[in-house]
Structure 1
Amino acid sequence: MTVKSIPEENPSVTGAVINPAMPVSRVASVDVYRGFVMLLMMAEVISLSDISKALPESSFWRIMAFSQSHVEWSWLSLHDMIQPSFTFLVGVVLPYSIMSRRNKGASVRNLLLHTLKRSLILILLGIFLRSMNSEQTNFTFEDTLTQIGLGYTLLVVLALYSQRVQVIALVVVLVGYFLAFALYPLPGPEFDYAAAGVKVGWEHNFNGFAAHWNKNTNFAWAFDNWFMNLFPREREFRFNRGGYSTLSFIPTLGTMILGLLAGNVLNSQVAHARKMKFFIITGFVLIAFGILLHVTGINPVVKRIWTPAWTIFSGGICFLFLAFFFGIIDIADKKKWSFFLMVIGMNSIAAYCIADGGIRNVINESLYIHFGQNFDKGIGAYAPLFTGGLVLFIMWLILYWMYKKKIFIKI
């Protein structure tokens, strides 16, 4: 990980300044899209579920709370789109990153060595953030950074080949992952569901063929029962409470490949209108295909184990998000409103660490230290909105200070 101070003589297309080591031409819409995604993550500090519980008759706050939570198993909420969007954008910017490095004379060997180092840093950073406030190192590989790190080197290798090879790789990844689950035997009548952290007859379980993708009774769960116990642990690993798994990095690579395909188009000389058409059509086709796989029972849409149907379905949504921001920011040139998001998006690693690390908690605790333990009690049900909003604004001010000082953290 490096901290770069960006010289002023290298302006980007957004009117900000960029590092010569960054892509020669930044796409403003990508920074804004990334900023939007990171804002959703940072805004977790505003506990909308607490407001909804305090106002149980309000359908508005119930919907808002749902949007900020993860679904129990199948389908999605807005919050479930944070990880696929962040992952998708890794692929989108890759053609620009490779082009920049190759233009500066980097050989393929140097490129791959840098990629391996980046992958390792992402994995270790993810483990570090997950280990904060733990008694020992929490070796876990299902969070966003480690999932990206596990597949990133393969993504870069694919980026060096033709788009045809990239599409073939996407198909192989998704079909192979599908078959691994489909061929893994379903639990028998003597299966101990309690030992796997699942209630017998859990209402979110699937029946029939789709049961191969049920929580903690699937191929990825079986793999983790072996793999996770290779690392030092306080107690034996038996299941992940949320059903998340290490092997999700494989279909997560599929999401990054979809982003790579989008980045190829974005980085091409094709007219903006044709790019928009491609993003929109591809988005709707992928969404329709993902829904078809789900409703037919061939493969359910489950984010927690990143089913192939989820890769396809969420990838389609990512294409539409990209089309939305590309249309407004880069085609219509409406950028002024997006400055708040731009500040976040241009320093996404810093934003991630602030939101997922201890800084957010330090800020929150400091408010009560300096203003008193009851400073927000008079606001009633809306206290989480007020206090969380203050913490969110302070986090943004940190990123704004870094933006003004031209300090950008990159890996």
Structure 2
Amino acid sequence: MTSQNRLVSADIYRGFVMLLMMAEVLHFGKVAEALPESSFWAFLAHHQDHVEWVGCSLHDLIQPSFSFLVGVVLPYSIASRLTQERGFNQAFLHALKRSLILIVLGIFLRSQYKAQTYFTFEDTLSQIGLGYPFLFLLAFRSQKIQIASLVILLVGYWLAFALYPLPDAYFNYENAGITKDWEHNLTGFTAHWNKNTNLAWAFDQWFLNIFPREKPFQFNGGGYTTLSFIPTLGTMILGLLAGNILKSTSVAQEKLKHFVLLGITGLGLGIILDLLGICPNVKRIWTPTWVLFSGGWCFLLLAFFYWIIDIKQHTRWAYGLKVIGMNSIAAYCIADALGVYISKSLTIHLGENYANLFGTPYHSLVHGGAMLLIYWLILNWLYTNKMFIKI
């Protein structure tokens, strides 16, 4: 997007979710362990971690928000590219290139400290990269086709899981990295979406073993899967629909009403599908219910940032988030690739006990805060020097 057409609220929203990701270094969980009687730190710790299986925490909304925003800005990006006298073919080739870079970057970052290339496709960048070409093509179709594609995608993915057979009496749970009596296992019909016994897990047992590995792939410890890129595409389509609304000629207040209505609808549908046992709300395998539920939150968050930034024009407070949001790929790489180096450097130069400034329970908080400040200072330097990493 050009600076004239840039959607500032999208940058601020993206900066917010990237800050949540980078703030993992604060390790609220360690503070909560050191202060077990504090409900305050227990609350923060819960929302700085992923739920074990069914449900949602604030931390679980990072990846869907990042994916959703890819769809939000796509109509602006396409308009910008087409006005630069680039035809559809050139624009699509760029989309394919962008997709490949995202996938390779995801693999590269996940391969750090490994003995060899670690081929994995469940991380945020790779998931977006796998679905991006399809999203790009849909952006040139009518809104009816976009909505129809979303419905077909979600229903088809739900049906594929529902038809996949449940584990039989001879199933080896140990080889799947779980136990038969794991407390988060679902029962009845919803057992089709249990951890490492589902369709997407079975696919990865074949697909990931095509690539060279230190040892054969059996399961992902968190239950994450490659095929989640399909429903993740659904999340990006929701973002594309939001982007269409933003680029429409409707007045700002009407756009805001649409976002709130779609947000409430998404949350309502997600809760109903989960409660009725039709499809559980599981982020780790990106169930269709999760697409709707998290998409509802994404619409509401976009509504908030659009209202306060683009409608009310209250932007001064958000400078820190803008610095992060306008360089989100750089922020992702800094946190993922430089975190260990920065952490060790702080200890080397400031001493082992420098972070005990406020007492031992807050050691991880002080150390993480110093790391987070360094992350932001790097991003601020890039911002002030107009250096932006774009794919």
> TM-score, normalization: structure 1?
0.94
Q: Corresponding residue for 2:57?
A: 77
Paired with 2:4 and 2:181, the residues of 1 have a C-alpha distance of 55
Q: Does the alignment pair 1:369 with 2:348?
A: yes
Letter aligned with residue 323 of structure 1: A
Q: Is 1:224 paired with 2:198?
A: no
1:127 paired residue among 107, 119, 122: 107
Gaps of 5+ in 1: 1-20
Counterpart Cα distance in 1 of 2:279 and 2:45: 28
The 8 Å contact of residues 205 and 218 in structure 2, kept in 1 or not, is answered as yes
1:364 Cα offset (Å): 1.2
Is 2:228 the counterpart of 1:257? no
CA shift digits 1:13-67 (9 cap, x unpaired): xxxxxxxx64751111110000000000010111111100000000000000001
Q: Could you tell me whether the CA contact under 8 Å between 1:290 and 1:310 is conserved in 2?
A: yes
Displacement of 1:253 in angstroms is 0.2
1:317 maps to what in 2? 297
- Percent identical pairs in the alignment equals 60
Aligned to 1:272: 252
45-54 or 380-389, larger mean C-alpha shift: 380-389
Query: CA offset at residue 189 of structure 1?
Result: 1.3
**CA distance, structure 1, for counterparts of residue 8 and residue 325 of structure 2:** 9
- Is 1:233 matched with 2:213? yes
| 1:135 to partner: Cα distance | 0.5
TM-score, normalised to structure 2, is: 0.99
Q: Which of 292, 313, 325 is the aligned partner of 1:333?
A: 313
Which residue pairs with 1:174 in the alignment? Answer: 154
Q: Which runs of 5+ in 2 are unaligned?
A: none
Q: Using the alignment, how far apart are the partners of 1:63 and 1:178 within structure 2?
A: 32
Letter in 2 for 1:232: P
Match of residue 9 from structure 1:
none
| SS of aligned partner of 1:409 | coil
The aligned counterpart of 1:208 is 188
**Paired position in structure 1 for 2:83:** 103
Aligned length: 390
Secondary structure of the corresponding residue to residue 388 of structure 2: strand
Tell me which residue corresponds to 2:32.
Answer: 52
Distance in 1 separating the partners of 2:2 and 2:93: 17
User: Structure 2 counterpart of 1:156, which letter?
Assistant: F
Which residue of structure 2 lines up, in the alignment, with residue 188 of structure 1? 168
Counterpart code for 2:266: L
CA–CA separation in structure 1 for the residues paired with 2:78 and 2:3: 8
Following TM superposition, the consecutive aligned residue runs of length 4 or more in structure 1 with deviations greater than 6 angstroms are none
- What is the identity, as a one-letter code, of the residue corresponding to 1:410? K
> Could you say what secondary structure the match of 1:376 adopts?
helix
Letter in 2 for 1:370: H
Q: Is the 8 A contact 1:23 1:99 kept in 2?
A: no
Distance in 1 separating the partners of 2:339 and 2:208:
29
Provide the C-alpha distance between the structure 1 equivalents of 2:3 and 2:350, rounded to a whole number of angstroms.
44
Tell me the alpha carbon deviations over residues 238-275 of structure 1, each in whole angstroms, 9 at most, x when there is no partner.
Answer: 11110000000000000000000000001111100000
Q: Is 1:91–1:259's contact at 8 Å kept on the other side of the alignment? A: yes
- 2:178 aligns with 198
2:225 matched to 1:245? yes
In structure 2, give the amino acid aligned to 1:44.
E
Kept after mapping to 2: 8 A contact 1:225/1:238: yes
The residue correspondences of 1:384-395 to structure 2 (distance < 5 A) are 384-395=364-375
1:184-241 CA distance string (max 9 Å, x none): 0011111111111111111111111111000011000110010010000111111111
CA RMSD of aligned residues (A): 0.9
CA deviations on 1:361-406 (whole Å, 9 max, x unpaired) are 2111111111112222353211111111111011100000000000
The counterpart of 2:45, out of the listed 61, 65, 68, is: 65
**In 2, Cα distance between equivalents of 1:186 and 1:243:** 16
